[in-house]
Copies of this chain bind each other. A is one copy, B any other.
Amino acid sequence: MARQPNRSDAIFASIRRAIIEQALKPGTKLPEDQIGEAYGVSRTGVRNALVRLTSEGLVEMRPNRGAAVAQPTLEEARDAFDIRRFLESEVVRRLCQRMSKDAIDALEAHVREEERALRGASARSIRLAGEFHILMAELTTSKTLTDYVSRSVSRCSLILAQYGRPHSAECGVDEHREIIEALVSQDSEKAMRLMDDHLGSVSARALLKPDSPEPDIAAILSSYAEG
C-alpha cells in the first residue's frame, strides 16, 4: 500500500522541477488549459498542483487572473536568502553533533553524482546542487526543518533563475566537499562558516549583479525623452 502517487503529485513535481531547472522562467503564464493538455488531464488536477506550488512560493495565483511563475522582488529575494542561511546554519550545527557513517556516505555519494552531472545537462546539475542542501536537512531527521529548508531551496532556485546568470555553475561542488569535510571532523564553527560563505557567495552572484535586476521603465523612458 505504498501510497501511490496521486495524479496531481506528478503534475506538481513536474512543474516544480521545470521551474527549478529554469525551463519555466519567472513570469511565464501557466494557463490551466494548456498545462492540462500537456499532461493529458483535465484542469482540476492542474489546479491542485498550482495551489501547492503557490504555497511553496514558486507560483503566484491572482484571483480571476490565473497563475504564473512567481517573480520575487529584489527585497523578497534578499529575504529568502537571509532566512535560508539562517536555517541551514542550524542544519549544519545539528549535523555536527553526531554524524553517522550512513550520513557521510549519503552526502559523499551525492557529491559524486553532482560531479558527474557537471559534464552533462546543466538542468540536472542545477537540480542536484539544490538537492544536496535538502539532503543535509533530511539527515537532521527533523521533518519541520527539512520542510522549511526545502521550500527555501526551491524559492532560491527560482530567484537564481530570475536574477542570476543563466549558465552559472550555481553551487560549487568543491564547496560542498569542504562542508562535508568539516562535518566529518565535527568542527561546528568551521562548518557553519563554510555553509554561510557558500550561500553568501551564491546569493551575491545572484543579487548583486548590476545587469538590470528589475527593468526600471521610468528610468529607461526618461533617457529616451531627452533624445
Interface residue ranges, A against B (CB under 8 Å): 3-4, 6, 44, 47-48, 51-52, 55-57, 62-63, 76, 79-80, 82-83, 86, 90, 142-145, 147-148, 152, 155
CB–CB B83/A142 < 8 A: yes
Q: How far is the CA of A82 from the CA of B141 in the complex (A)?
A: 12
9 contacts between A and B (CB under 8 A): A3-B62, A4-B63, A6-B63, A48-B51, A52-B55, A79-B142, A79-B143, A82-B144, A86-B90
Q: A3-B62, A62-B3 are in contact. Are A83 and B51 (CB under 8 A)?
A: no
- Which residues of chain B have C-beta atoms less than 8 A from A3's C-beta? 62-63
Q: With A76-B143, A83-B142, A148-B148 given, can you name 20 additional A-B contacts, CB distance below 8 Å?
A: A3-B62, A6-B63, A44-B44, A47-B48, A48-B51, A51-B51, A51-B52, A52-B55, A55-B56, A57-B147, A76-B144, A79-B143, A79-B145, A80-B144, A82-B144, A83-B144, A83-B145, A83-B148, A86-B90, A144-B152
> What residues on B are CB-neighbors of A142 within 8 Å?
79, 82-83
Complex Cα–Cα for A152 and B87 (A) = 14
**A134 vs B64: C-alpha distance when bound (angstroms):** 29
CB contacts (< 8 Å) of A143 on chain B: these are 76, 79
Q: Which residue of B lies closest to A55 (CB)?
A: B55
